[in-house]
Structure 1
Amino acid sequence: MDNSAFQDLDKYNGSTRPNENGSRKRHPPESMGSQDSSDVSIAPERVRMKKTVGLISGTSLIVGTIIGSGIFISPKSVLDRTGSVGLSLVVWVSSGFLALLGSLSYAELGTVIRKSGGEYVYIKEAMGEIPAFLFAWSSVIVVRTSSMAIICLTFGKYMATFFPYCGSPIIPVKIVSALAIVSLGVINSYSTTLAGRTQVLFTIVKLLSLTVIVIGGIVKLSQGNISQFQNSFEGTTASPSSIALAFYNALWAYDGWNNLNYVTEELKDPAKNLPRANVLGVMITTIIYLLVNISYLTAMTSTELLDSPAVAVTWGDRVLGAAAVLMPLSVLFSTFGAANGTLFGGGRVVYVAGREGHLPEMLSYVHCKYYTPFPSIIFTIAIALIMIIPGDVGSLVDFFSFSAWLFYGLTVTCLIIFRFTKKDVERPIKVPIVVPVLFVLISIYLVIGPIIDNPQIELLYAFLFIIGGLLFYFPFVYFKLKIKGFEWLTTSVQLLCEVVPSPYEPDN
């Protein structure tokens, strides 16, 4: 490589670079002013991500991430597993209440530990290196990436409704899904501000489209379409496993309530905006979800809803008539915005884990011009592209939900631990202790219930995958095993991507 290329990056990080004989030597950072460049005591210019997320954009991040593909694909699964309209609506409201408990707990966590990275940094602080690594391992390889894959596959499926195919070929759906993932990678790599504005725009559009569904449901109710709400608990299941799996699907639709905690370091006035945005985002979503589910059931029977290949499209055909084309369009906007929020938060987990030494350090580097976590974003979309290959949305949801709620429960347990280990830390928000305790108990049920009542091999695979992360932790993190040529790879990535280290700097 041309050594002159290193000079552009040295001023940011005092980086190491190969000398003429190929060995590495530490070079002092160059002066940023008129002082003598031989003065090695001059501190390098710090590159860190900017605080660009306010209350509106933060609330949009939460609402826009939560409202994605879930409200369009989960109603069928929730209704099927509960067995009745009445219990399905109870599950939707209860899931919103559980998400609210979680968002309140996370609001306190985010003001006690004011670092980006969400669950990762809280688990690391309260429980140590190994649980934090296992979370990062599961999140990076499965949880966040499978979430993004599910959303983008839904985007691809609804895009396919605009084109008449012979049969139902899956290849075009996967190609469209992959293009959506790559497009989001470009947006998030180029500008955090652009990613935030994209989130706000798509959140507004999806709220408008869901408002249309809600108004349509109100009109149908006023016309007397209430048959599905009479004897609504008839046929209710008595299986704890089925109810837990119904919660899995509803809670999947609510996933994203914790997304703002991944970008705490980029949040303006986190002590105020984090709890406000968390609570406001979840409450808005819960009301919308309940009204949308009611609207679906005013336009079709429960049997018709279960048989519908695309619930929103069927609703549009029956209620909007010639304007039904708005429904697949609204789903496209909704899923694209949700995938954007998922990538925005998921890339920060990779970034923080790399900064803390649990992933390769180069994944924590930040672009020296755009101030975005470029390597972590590229890594996240690469894994997400692999996840769309199987294309089985149902199995991905179950796999995702088991892993996610295992770590959600552990994370809120950290809040209980901090009440004893960090008594003197300032808490702008302090929730009643019953909130995290209740959340943890429900999380235990969601994780253990399906295993005890109806063991499934997919849940065993998920557990073994999480534990399998130890095969990487001990050699590469604990014993710090070095791979030959990895330093050269790190330098090459730094030069190719124009990225530099970005150490954590606490707020003043």
Structure 2
Amino acid sequence: MSASDDPASGKVALRRVLGFFPSVAFIIGIVIGTGIFVSPTGILRGVDGSVGWAFTIWITCAVIAMCGALTYTELASSFTKSGGEFIFIKEAFGPVLAFLRIWTLVAILGPASIAVQSLTVANYLITPFMGDCNKEDYYVPIRLVAACVMCLITFINCLSVPVSSHLQSFLTVAKIMGLAVLILTGMVLLFQGNVDNFKNPFVVEDFQPALLPSAFYSGIFAYAGWDYITCVTEEIKRPEKTVVAMVVSLVFVTIVYLLANTAYLTALTPDEILSSDAVAATFAVRVLKSWSWTIWIFVAMSAAGNLNGLLFTRCRMFFVAAREGYLPEVMSMIHVRWKTPLPAMVVSLPLSLLLLLVSDVYVLIDFLTSVDTAFTVITVLIVPYFRWKQPNRPTTYRVWLITPVIFILFNMFVLLMSFYSTPVRSTLGLVTTLFGLVFYYFGCRWTNKPRSVQNAIDSSNQFLQKLCLSVRQEVKTY
């Protein structure tokens, strides 16, 4: 056992505390967020309500997610550092693209995602108990509950990696139990003969190609999160088992998603699903009646699990970026007692709390969705690029080259279709990303800053370091 693994060593460093099952729990807990409870509507809308084509898209997105996961696993086995996409892009294509990736996450996508998940938890916790109140009546209570949830989960992640891991395992089990209730109820209805919605499954009356990208984006959203485990490589006990954890997790998630969609269609028609903002809630009210609130609680716990995994993994990317010199130095420091990257953990908290005041946070995520997809494509391109430039590069795991090619071609198709169907929104996302070059020049390229500017930066780092009771990592963990 190395010094960084031994709690008794007293060294300030990240600990390798995530075993195989906690890794699986993290992947499942992040992937199964709110997607399966809301994405069926988006997918059905994109295929004009065709049940057969909707299931085809679910399976296609699962295959694409598996291709991406296997490709990311090869990259993770080639690099011993945490940081996921940031490290992969930096080592392959240089600092500018890597900084722009971290910029999109720090400036908008990270805080907005945290705000959205917190609001989702609050909505599902409060709505079942509000009776006939208007939505405007509980605008403030929902924001307050969301802020409390956000702060609580952030504090837990700052306090202890094992506690955060146990919380993720608990929330993962809870959401699986909720989905089990939903699926078993649907299977009972199926065996009772509720199969009308499965007749003529591939009939399409008015197909609109412009809606197809939204269907695929809904599917991609439902499977999103499998890549986050590569952000915590330095805290996994046996990183070589990551590929097994990826495969087990995504196969399990795919089976659950297909069964859940089957359950929905035993009680709801495609038109009813299309008119619903929360399919699981509509299903629960129809089938479970007075017990429908249980599904709302399970969905809230599912969103909380997604939020916990999001906070745990994203902050590691910020931590590594700061350690590499691309973000303020204080974000590369670790709390002296809790051994967690506390400064990197709380950096998104103020902006995330501020975004709770925005009436529609989803808009912020929507116009950067195409950028997020573009960076994922860039990351996967690294595998064929390295096969060409560095064919003998050491790695413990290799995918067939067709795997990243399938992933790249699919996502390029969706990306081009998104610019075709929503050109203004996609262009705004691109402009926002390129605006990060200003901060790259000021923070990274401008090395001969005036003494007054550098003194101000150093003083800010020292103040925040003392405030967070953090120091630089004392043990090399990569």
Instruction: Give TM-score scaled by structure 1 length.
Output: 0.87
Aligned to 2:135, the other structure's residue is in SS state: coil
Alignment partner of 1:494 is 2:460 = no
Q: 1:176 to 1:400 in 2, by over 3 A?
A: farther
Q: Which amino acid aligns with 1:316?
A: A
CA distance in 1, matches of 2:269, 2:360: 26
State whether residues 213 and 292 of structure 1, in contact with CA within 8 Å, keep that contact through their aligned partners in structure 2: yes
Deviation per CA, 1:379-400, whole angstroms, max 9, x where unpaired?
A: 1222322333324255345334
Of 149, 158, 164 in structure 2, the residue corresponding to residue 195 of structure 1 is: 164
The Cα of 1:93 is off from its aligned counterpart by 1.5
Alignment partner of 1:463 is 2:425 = no
Other-structure match for 1:68:
33
State whether residues 252 and 397 of structure 1, in contact with CA within 8 Å, keep that contact through their aligned partners in structure 2: no
CA distance in 1, matches of 2:171, 2:92: 36
Other-structure match for 2:6:
none
CA distance in 2, matches of 1:177, 1:349: 24
Alignment partner of 1:247 is 2:184 = no
Q: Which amino acid aligns with 1:62?
A: I
Of 12, 21, 33 in structure 2, the residue corresponding to residue 47 of structure 1 is: 12
The Cα of 1:260 is off from its aligned counterpart by 0.6
Q: Which amino acid aligns with 2:427?
A: L
Alignment of 1:146-185 (within 5 A): 146-161=112-127, 162-164=129-131, 166-169=133-136, 170-185=139-154
State whether residues 346 and 380 of structure 1, in contact with CA within 8 Å, keep that contact through their aligned partners in structure 2: no
The Cα of 1:244 is off from its aligned counterpart by 1.2
Aligned to 1:493, the other structure's residue is in SS state: helix
The Cα of 1:418 is off from its aligned counterpart by 2.0
Q: 1:404 to 1:503 in 2, by over 3 A?
A: farther
State whether residues 38 and 277 of structure 2, in contact with CA within 8 Å, keep that contact through their aligned partners in structure 1: no
Q: Which amino acid aligns with 1:493?
A: L
State whether residues 13 and 477 of structure 2, in contact with CA within 8 Å, keep that contact through their aligned partners in structure 1: no
CA distance in 1, matches of 2:95, 2:165: 32
Q: 1:236 to 1:138 in 2, by over 3 A?
A: farther
CA distance in 2, matches of 1:118, 1:238: 38
The Cα of 1:448 is off from its aligned counterpart by 1.3
Alignment partner of 1:256 is 2:229 = no
CA distance in 2, matches of 1:69, 1:373: 27
Of 26, 42, 45 in structure 2, the residue corresponding to residue 77 of structure 1 is: 42
The Cα of 1:484 is off from its aligned counterpart by 4.5
The Cα of 1:483 is off from its aligned counterpart by 4.7
Q: Which amino acid aligns with 1:489?
A: S
Other-structure match for 2:356:
388
Structure of greater Rg:
1
Aligned to 1:258, the other structure's residue is in SS state: helix
Aligned to 1:281, the other structure's residue is in SS state: helix
The Cα of 1:45 is off from its aligned counterpart by 7.7
State whether residues 140 and 349 of structure 1, in contact with CA within 8 Å, keep that contact through their aligned partners in structure 2: no
The Cα of 1:407 is off from its aligned counterpart by 0.8
Alignment of 1:312-391 (within 5 A): 312-391=280-359
Q: Which amino acid aligns with 1:131?
A: L
Count, aligned residues: 462
Other-structure match for 2:83:
117
The Cα of 1:166 is off from its aligned counterpart by 2.6
Aligned to 1:53, the other structure's residue is in SS state: coil
Q: Which amino acid aligns with 2:429?
A: A
Deviation per CA, 1:188-245, whole angstroms, max 9, x where unpaired?
A: 0000111011000100111111111111111111111111111223336644431112
CA distance in 2, matches of 1:277, 1:459: 34
Q: 1:308 to 1:426 in 2, by over 3 A?
A: same
The Cα of 1:186 is off from its aligned counterpart by 0.4
State whether residues 120 and 353 of structure 1, in contact with CA within 8 Å, keep that contact through their aligned partners in structure 2: yes
CA distance in 1, matches of 2:289, 2:203: 31
Instruction: Give TM-score scaled by structure 2 length.
Output: 0.92
Give the % identical residues. Answer: 32
Other-structure match for 2:56:
90
State whether residues 147 and 400 of structure 1, in contact with CA within 8 Å, keep that contact through their aligned partners in structure 2: no
The Cα of 1:306 is off from its aligned counterpart by 2.2
Deviation per CA, 1:41-88, whole angstroms, max 9, x where unpaired?
A: xxx985211001111000100000011111112222222222122222
Q: 1:360 to 1:215 in 2, by over 3 A?
A: same
Q: 1:428 to 1:236 in 2, by over 3 A?
A: farther
Gaps of at least 5 residues in structure 2 are: 1-8
Q: 1:292 to 1:238 in 2, by over 3 A?
A: same
CA distance in 2, matches of 1:466, 1:504: 34
Other-structure match for 1:234:
203
Higher mean alpha-carbon deviation, 158-167 vs 111-120, is at 158-167
Q: 1:184 to 1:301 in 2, by over 3 A?
A: same
Alignment of 1:26-41 (within 5 A): none
The Cα of 1:336 is off from its aligned counterpart by 0.6
Q: Which amino acid aligns with 2:289?
A: G
Other-structure match for 1:407:
375
CA distance in 2, matches of 1:411, 1:386: 31
Alignment partner of 1:298 is 2:266 = yes
State whether residues 103 and 436 of structure 2, in contact with CA within 8 Å, keep that contact through their aligned partners in structure 1: yes
Other-structure match for 1:59:
24
CA distance in 1, matches of 2:111, 2:367: 12
CA distance in 2, matches of 1:491, 1:397: 33
Alignment partner of 1:485 is 2:456 = yes
CA distance in 2, matches of 1:183, 1:326: 22
State whether residues 248 and 398 of structure 1, in contact with CA within 8 Å, keep that contact through their aligned partners in structure 2: no
CA distance in 1, matches of 2:217, 2:367: 10
Q: Which amino acid aligns with 2:292?
A: A
CA distance in 1, matches of 2:444, 2:10: 29
The Cα of 1:350 is off from its aligned counterpart by 1.0
Aligned to 1:485, the other structure's residue is in SS state: helix
Alignment of 1:196-235 (within 5 A): 196-235=165-204
Higher helix share: 2
Q: Which amino acid aligns with 1:119?
A: E
Other-structure match for 2:106:
140
The Cα of 1:358 is off from its aligned counterpart by 0.9
Q: 1:433 to 1:309 in 2, by over 3 A?
A: closer
